[in-house]
Structure 1
Amino acid sequence: MQADPLTPMMKQYLEIKRQYPDTILFYRMGDFYEMFLEDAVLASGILDIALTSRNKNDENPVPMCGVPYRSAQSYIARLIEKGHKVAVCEQTEDPAQAKGLVKREVVRIITPGMVVEEGLLDQSIHNFIAALWFEKQVAGVSILDLSTATFQVTESADLDAILEEIQRIAPRELLLSEKNRGQGVWKVLEERIPDLLISPISEDRFSFSDARDLLCRHFQTLSLEGFGCGHLHAGIAAAGALFGYVEQTQKQSLNHITRIVPYDLSGFLILDEATCRNLELLKNLHYNGRQGTLLDVLDQTVSAMGARLMRQWIRYPLRDRKAICERLDAVSEAVAQPSLRKSVREQLKQIGDLERIAARIALDRCSPRDFLSLKASILALPESVRLLREFSSPLLDVAAIDGSLGALLDMAGLIDRAIREDAPPALQEGGVIKAGYDPELDELIDMHLHTRDYLMELEAREKQGTSINSLKVRYNKVFGYYIEIPKSQIQAVPAHYVRKQTLVNAERYITDELKQFELKISGAQERRIAIETRLFQELRETVGAHIREIQQASAFLARLDSLFALAEAADRYAYCKPEIGDVGEIHIDEGRHPVIERFLPEGRFVPNSLVLDNTANQVLIITGPNMAGKSTILRQTALQVIMVHIGSWVPARHAVICLTDRIFTRIGALDNIASGQSTFLVEMQETANILNNATPKSLVILDEIGRGTSTYDGFSIAWAVAGYLHDLRDAGVKTLFATHYHEMTELERFKPRVKNFSIAVREKKETIVFLHKLLKGGTSRSYGIQVAKLAGIPETVIQHARSVLRDIEEGTHCFSGPAKPVKTAGKPVSEQIPFFESVEHPAIGKLKALDVMNMTPLEALNCLHELFMLVSETSL
């Protein structure tokens, strides 16, 4: 019978791996996590570590690699960053007491959406895992940040809105039914969010009744009505599937998740992904960094909790007037008291990331330093509370944490008595618990502290007893404690010394007394670690009973930090408190771009005023050359509207801004070569989204519509789009429309709520100076050649271009090689060939020729009919 080629260890490994096929299995062996077979090949390439093999001499060696147990976190982080899941398999029994193979089992699965360790997370960003489920034409979405206990749910019958919401959430991982794999929504999400890890789970996991029961069991409630989400069938199905998945992979209860919060998509100003990108709310367009974004300007927070909340406020601006006004009033109160604001912010700097510390404590992933940070944070609370008692804003009411402050301070006192200030980062290293906290531990600590004294005393006694002055008592990790004597003195070694090791110049010995001491000391160290571990776990459980109070404090502190950050920005950058208008008007007096002005010397940014309303100034056509500032005015208007809905003051002398349901932007375009989409196609797709979804309460920002195709096609599209937005739902929509098509200014003649504006330019001979000032009235010049010269185009090219332009204006330029030169009826043309001839309408000429004083009534009626037909035939 042929022998089984697999060792017991490999059999165990393969059995465990079969249970977790979609993960990289970290298999604990002593001080290392080992990986085998395909996992080893994959991981070694990502981690850049050596790939070796077991049984190298066999015909089919087993690939393997490994990482040290103590530094595994950094390696896991790199695998997670690449979108992989890691199953952590630990030894679940003491190898010294094991009979045969040590038992092992997976204690946790780490995925991109389920990370809580401090070193693996960006402290300023939520780390969401989400689930999506469809039920009866309704889509439900649930999100969970395991590291902060943020658990939310929503649903909508609008699939596009749900897909946009998933992009706005930006989860690291998304759960979908395995039946959707590779098709429909799955495929769309893969295209829209390329880095998203989609994890398929059984459709049975999305059962509404099972989900409801699971959540009620966890929250210990009879229903979910108390959370306000009992009616969200699709949403609850998604939430239950998500919660069950996380609970199963973490292999423990999630006691720090104390509530589920429903939210309505219509409760926020909607900013789709294109708008968020075009306005550079969170990421710079050039390098995806934070610098040069609205977030960079407004995020003056001093805590990780505040930074995450500020990011959420920017991505989810409010639409409720009362809630916006509450934030504005709180910011105003903080602006008015700069010294008090400074003191509060100094206190906030002492506060750690309570949300994530609480999660790590609840999940038994905390370190001694988490407790020290928690203690310092709690001890900073009383002074913060004292300072805030002077504020009247309900958002800054310290009653939110007053009731739990006593319990939190008691907890801080307990931590202070238990944990040493110089505690190491890992519990396994020992030296975590303070002397005086536990009598049994004190005895072992005392023994450890007096080890050196004992060894010095022993060495002195042995020197005196043997008369060997060069005798030394020493210790190393390999041989333990020993007595070392030079070979020149070995003739004086007593008979009871037992040789332990021979060196070139010395001999090492052990005695019964030293052996007993070694056994006592080594046992004491093990007992000390065991006792410290037990005491640490008891402390964790005690603190864990107050997770809800810690979370309440963290929520209050995050809100406080964010409001004071908005006040800091308002005060530092000379913003004004805006008014919330009632008549659908956006009136900005001397407005500035909040980001661009930060990159210019003080006073260099040119402010501009602007009025948008639903009666006379609904569609503003803005013309002017490149680099003059058209795009800046468009963006700064949209950003100021967003800032108001966040609850922020705005960069202006005065501002009245109405509530807005959605901001659409069509600014610039990038080729999507991978999917075969050209610049023009992307432009038209974004424009179609605007035309199909804008409402009279929206704000539309359009920059250079139609430039991606031929001039006449582009102009035709731009004209039609502007007209459509003016007439939208018989009410129109507030629109800023920047264009190089100067003929667009003609639209003002046909649409009553269209107004022309242009950017001022001063000409100096053959050059121009940009004044960056918005003026009433359109312009008929693009100054393209002058801008080209400013951009550094060689002078020979500039001169050639001027020559061509001159020929066109004189009607002598030949556009088709040897063909006859183009004539323009002896009329000079503008720099852009006009779409509209400034000729008199035929009806006007006919009217001028009439002799109305000598016409009979019948002749007058016939003439009126002729004029009507003439106007109808020649109208646009």
Structure 2
Amino acid sequence: MERKDVDIEKVTPMMKQYLEIKNENEDLIIFFRLGDFYEMFFDDAIKVSHELELTLTGKSSGLEERIPMCGIPYHAASTYIDKLIENGHKIGIVEQLEDPKNVKGIVKRGIVQIISSGTIMDTDTLKADDFNFIASITDFKHGYAVSYADVSTGEIYAFLLEHNPTKVVSEIINLGVKEVILDSKTDKDIYSILKNQFHLTLTITDELSDEYAYIYEDIIDQRYIHSVKHLLAYVIHNQKRDLSHLQKLQIRETKDHLKMDVHTKRNLELTETLRLKQRNYSLIWLLDKTKTAMGARLLKNYLLNPLIDKKGIERRYDIVGTLLKEFILKSDLEKYLTEVYDLERLSGKIAFGNANGKDLLQLKSSLKVLPQISEILEKINYHKKLTDFSDLYNLLEKSIYENPPVSTKEGYLIKEGYNEELDELKNLRKGGKDFVAKFETEEREKTGIKNLKVGYNRVFGYYIEISKGNTNLVKDEWGYQRKQTLANCERYISPILKEKEALILNAEEKIIELEYDLFCNIRDEVKTYIPKLQETAKIISEIDVLQSFATIAETNNYVRPEITENEIYIKESRHPVVEKVINGEFVTNDIIMDKNTNILLITGPNMAGKSTYMRQMAIIAIMAQIGSFVPATIAKIPIFDAIYTRIGASDDLVSGESTFMVEMTEAANAITSATDKSLLLFDELGRGTATFDGMALAQGIIEYIHQNIKGKTFFSTHYHELTDLDKTLKHLKNIHVSAYEEDGKITFLHKIKEGSVDKSYGIHVAKLASLPDSVIKRASEILKVYENKENKRDVKIQEALPIDELMPKKSKVEEELEKIDPLEVTPIEALNILYKLKQDANK
């Protein structure tokens, strides 16, 4: 039976309630709470039973045919919800909205929360060391505004982008966003790519919210405000709870951080490996010696957004250096940080209203060690101070039991001595239970039945249990009334026991009710401390990252970088990850580029280490700009504004172009965006096309970088003819990776030396890869034929091409337009610029 065929007026009141909720929320799987189960019906039941491998049954609902149904226990729902969220679904949780005791007829129900991949608040589900971002994309036709938040921690960010769908998709994937909300004006291609290629949870809506205006009260640009309102509308609609833990909006300016696109971050394996897409053996795996979940997340943020501010970088170096000197303080700091729980996500749960007793105990444990951490921060002259939370600690210490239950509605939450009324009720309950224990002893003596027991269950309350062998001893004068017969015993009740039962259970019910109210009041009191707790979390996470940097520097013998203007001088550099995972000793290499050298043209055999050399340069630059010490004996390095890489094959995010097209697109992006302060890495550019085409393009790009960009560039190639460019390009220098050949066998030395090589040793590498001898022999013969042909040709490709003469000259208006960034221009400035350009065009 399908839902669309059901006459809503013929079903039972409960099923009518379900259908009304489901018909208004077609995109949700409805978890409908009935007793101790969440139940699903119709198409939801069929879908969920299949995906979760549950039994599909039927339910009577007033119709001739039973409707499809499946269910799960509500106390185990999180496991099932996690799997459905992972499969891309959104879950609507339906609960009772009224107390059944106070209602005649059917209890009102409604959706109390919508759970989607970007709005998960359950810390057991979320990865402790990673963000869980939900993003909004709004299209302003001239550009995009993107805002994104981690609802579990309350952090919100926003940035502007040019009107380029590829860049928007790249940024969303770069951030690791789990769910995206788009407005109806956004390019449908963006929706399609994010949905089909990256399988993100997507929603199209134009709803805005004016709630929580404090988040953007300091922001002037309306594009940011509009974007955040768009994001908030969706989050508020889904969560339906207090979100006062959301923090003030942070604008992410690209000019404040080292720019790296998604390809660069993947090629350098910053947060996951290229091959297996896992954290192990990535750079973050090596750097992460943090002790807190907050620190681990901040480290990832640092790694993806390195600084370009010299003062900020040097400040981090200073703290790392101090921790290395003060190793005893560092050891104590590590010990205390281990005791700190995830204050950011605890704050979120407290505001959200789903923090339980264990969460408040975790908060108390964290607060307990803050005075010791504060003392250490003062001793190392840390620039921020921690808040004193002694009042909050004392409140939690005197109120919350040391081992509370998971649920907040089972009692055993509040300590004795905290509330007078609660203590009286507990004494009453204790008196009743003492009576029960005494009653059992007296009844055994009175009846002579040694195995007589007094027990309790929710159906019968307190009862007397007598084994079958002793039931003949029961006398009418004792007033026992048979209540239940079991296989091996009989259960009875007695008037005296029932009288005490009413007192005990009444006290129990009042205790649970009062403890819940008291707990909610304590949680509300804790909520007032959230802004200070979030400030504290930021300080703790930063010092945690810096102690992690100190730990890896000490363990791996890293050195403090010295920041220069335009000179690279790195002695005995190493690739930090490769040196940890290879068998044997890593071969160190110098990286030297003085003020007069902008391009290193790298030649050498395949597999000799050209790519590793280039990658370790980029990784050392990134480590230096996040404030870490680096793997070298001396490191003098400038601050780069961007890193552009063209290394290996990569996937085109949008159009599915050929490898060569992707290669050229990435190269174009690099040379049009790079400045003289950028770092460029090109690994064998041009190999995806015919030899002479590739060689010509490689030379053209090298010349363009040399003449126009002048950024530090590493360019590896197998086109050995290009090595003659050092005669015409004064800022280019040849280097090569050495290899040793003897008796047709090759040994890679992995050592960088000055000058060029004129041989690629490709066939030798094939031999190392165990290609059949017959193939190797034939390839060697063919190679000799090609080499003879090349010797006969008189091709001189080394001459610089007059590219500037061939290119059409740009008009003055075009030149002016290229200087304008539309995202940085105010409306009044735009009008003034337009007026000036019109005057120039008419001249």
TM-score, with length taken from structure 1:
0.85
Q: CA contact under 8 A between 1:139 and 1:235: conserved in structure 2?
A: no
Deviations 1:455-492 (A, max 9, x none): 33212322344444454333344433222344654364
AA partner of residue 609 (structure 2):
G
Of residues 486, 492, 495, the one that matches 1:509 is 492
- CA 338–505 in structure 1, closer or farther in 2 if over 3 Å, else same: closer
Partner of 1:100: 105
Structure-2 separation of matches of 1:254 and 1:243: 10
| Aligned counterpart in structure 2 of residue 534 of structure 1, from 493, 508, 517 | 517
2:668 aligned to which of 673, 688, 701: 688
Change (3 A) 1:478 1:743: same
What is the match of residue 817 of structure 1? Answer: none
Q: Contact 1:433 / 1:532 at 8 angstroms: preserved in 2?
A: yes
2:681 is matched with which residue?
701
Q: Give the corresponding residue for 2:612.
A: 632
Aligned pair 1:600/2:586, yes or no? no
Distance 2:794 2:782 in 1: 17
Q: Please give the residue correspondences for 1:707-722 in structure 2 after superposition, counting only pairs within 5 Å.
A: 707-722=687-702
Cα deviations by residue, 1:564-616 (Å, 9 ceiling, x for unpaired): 1111111211111111112x2222222111111111367x1111112235x53
| Structure 2 gap segments, 5+ residues each | 1-6, 800-843
Match of 1:313 in 2: 302
| Structure 1 residue 430: Cα displacement | 2.6
1:620-659 matches, within 5 Å, as 620-659=600-639
Which residue of structure 2 lines up, in the alignment, with residue 251 of structure 1?
A: 240
Alpha-carbon separation, structure 1, partners of 2:798 and 2:67 = 84
Kindly state the Cα deviation for residue 520 of structure 1 after the two structures are TM-superposed: 2.7
Q: Which amino acid aligns with 1:535?
A: L
Distance 1:258 1:768 in 2: 60
Aligned match for 2:126, one of 121, 131, 136: 121
Equivalent pair of 1:355/1:554 in contact (CA under 8 Å): yes
1:263/1:3 CA distance change after superposition, 3 Å: closer
1:423: which partner in 2?
Answer: 404
Aligned residue type for 2:312: A
- Look up the match of 1:359: 348
Counterpart CA distance in 2 for 1:838 and 1:124 is: 51
Alignment of 1:733-744 (within 5 A): 733-744=711-722
Change (3 A) 1:838 1:549: closer
Q: AA paired with 2:54?
A: I
Q: Output one character per residue of 1:222-268: Cα deviation in whole Å (capped at 9) or x when no partner.
A: x83xx3x21x2211100122123222322233221242222312111
Aligned partner of 1:151 among 151, 156, 160? 156
CA contact (8 A) 1:468 1:489 kept: no
User: Could you tell me which residue of structure 1 aligns to residue 176 of structure 2?
Assistant: 170
Mark the CA change 1:493 to 1:564 in structure 2 (over 3 Å): closer, same or farther: same
Q: 1:724 aligns with which of 672, 697, 704?
A: 704
* Aligned with residue 301 of structure 1, among 290, 311, 332: 290
The residue aligned with 1:413 is 394
TM-superposition CA deviations, 1:11-33 (whole Å, max 9, x none):
11111123322211111111111
**After superposition, where does 1:148-547 map in structure 2 within 5 Å?**
148-157=153-162, 159=164, 162-180=168-186, 183-187=188-192, 189-190=194-195, 194-202=198-206, 205=208, 214-216=211-213, 218=214, 224=217, 227=218, 229-230=219-220, 232-392=221-381, 396-399=382-385, 401=386, 404-405=387-388, 408-449=389-430, 453-485=434-466, 486=468, 489-490=471-472, 492-495=474-477, 496-503=479-486, 506-547=489-530
**Distance across 2 between alignment mates of 1:537 and 1:136:** 48
- Say yes or no: does 1:587 pair with 2:565: no
Deviation string 1:132-182 (CA, Å, 9 cap, x unpaired) is: 2233624222222111111222224464655543333222112211343x7
Q: What is the distance in 2 between the residues matched to 1:256 and 1:379?
A: 22
Structure 1 residues 310-319 or 472-481, which shifts more? 472-481
Contact 1:667 1:701 in 2 (8 A): yes
Taking the aligned partners of 1:474 and 1:824, their CA distance within structure 2 comes to 99
* C-alpha separation in 1, matches of 2:9 and 2:233: 39
CA distance in 2, matches of 1:626, 1:38: 57
Asked whether the 8 Å contact 2:31–2:93 carries over to 1, the reply is: yes
Deviation larger for 270-279 or 156-165? 156-165
CA contact 2:569–2:591 (8 Å) conserved in 1: yes
Provide the secondary structure at the position in 2 that maps to 1:380. Answer: helix
User: Residue deviations 1:327-357, cap 9 Å, x none?
Assistant: 1222222222222111111110000000110
Q: Which amino acid aligns with 1:515?
A: K
Tell me the equivalent position of 1:554: 537
Find the counterpart in structure 1 of residue 804 from structure 2: none
Distance 2:651 2:154 in 1: 39
**Amino acid corresponding to residue 577 of structure 1 in structure 2:** R
Matching of residues 797-808 of structure 1 within 5 Å: 797-806=775-784
Per the TM alignment, residue 678 of structure 1 is displaced from its structure 2 partner at its CA by: 3.0
Q: Which amino acid aligns with 2:311?
A: K
User: Residues 743 and 834 of structure 1 are in contact (CA less than 8 Å); yes or no, is this contact kept in structure 2?
Assistant: no
CA distance in 1, matches of 2:379, 2:704: 53
Letter in 2 for 1:751: L
Whichever residue aligns with residue 716 of structure 1, its letter is: A
SS at match of 1:707: coil
Q: Does the 8 A contact of 2:193 with 2:654 survive in 1?
A: no
Cα deviation digits, residues 604-641 of structure 1 (max 9, x gap): 1111112235x532111101111111001000001111
Between the aligned partners of 2:182 and 2:416, the Cα distance in structure 1 is: 52
Q: Secondary structure at the match of 1:76?
A: helix
Q: Can you list the C-alpha shifts for 1:428-465, whole angstroms capped at 9, x where unaligned?
A: 33322222222333344345556654333212322344
The 2-side partners of 1:685 and 1:189 are apart by 21
Tell me the distance in 2 between the aligned counterparts of 1:527 and 1:668.
69
Residue from 13, 16, 20 that aligns with 2:21: 16
Cα 1:55–1:153 change in 2 (3 A) is: same
Give, in whole Å, the separation in 2 of the partners of 1:93 and 1:838.
84
Counterpart of 1:775 in structure 2 is: 753
Deviation at 1:837, TM superposition (A): 9.5
Q: Which amino acid aligns with 2:493?
A: I
Q: Distance in 2 between matches of 1:465 and 1:112?
A: 64
Going from structure 1 to structure 2, the CA distance change for 1:441 and 1:801 (only over 3 Å counts) comes to same
Amino acid at match of 2:227: A
CA contact (8 A) 2:10 2:62 kept: no
In the alignment, the residues of structure 1 paired with residue 634 and residue 278 of structure 2 have an alpha-carbon distance, to the nearest angstrom, of: 31
In structure 1, distance between residues paired with 2:564 and 2:620: 14
Q: Determine helix, strand or coil for the equivalent of 2:31.
A: strand
Provide the alpha-carbon RMSD of the alignment.
2.6
Query: Is residue 110 of structure 1 aligned with residue 115 of structure 2?
Result: yes
CA pair 777-31 structure 1, distance change in 2 beyond 3 A: same
Kindly tell me: are residues 254 and 699 of structure 1, through their superposed partners in 2, closer, same or farther at Cα, counting changes over 3 Å?
A: same
Matched residue, 2:734: 756
- Within 2, Cα distance between the matches of 1:3 and 1:134? 41
Shift of the 659–98 alpha-carbon distance from structure 1 to 2, 3 Å rule, reads same
Q: Out of 695-704 and 271-280, give the one that drifted further.
A: 695-704
The aligned amino acid for 1:281 is L
- Encode CA deviations 1:719-756: one digit per residue, 9 max, x unaligned: 2222222222xx43321011112112122223222211
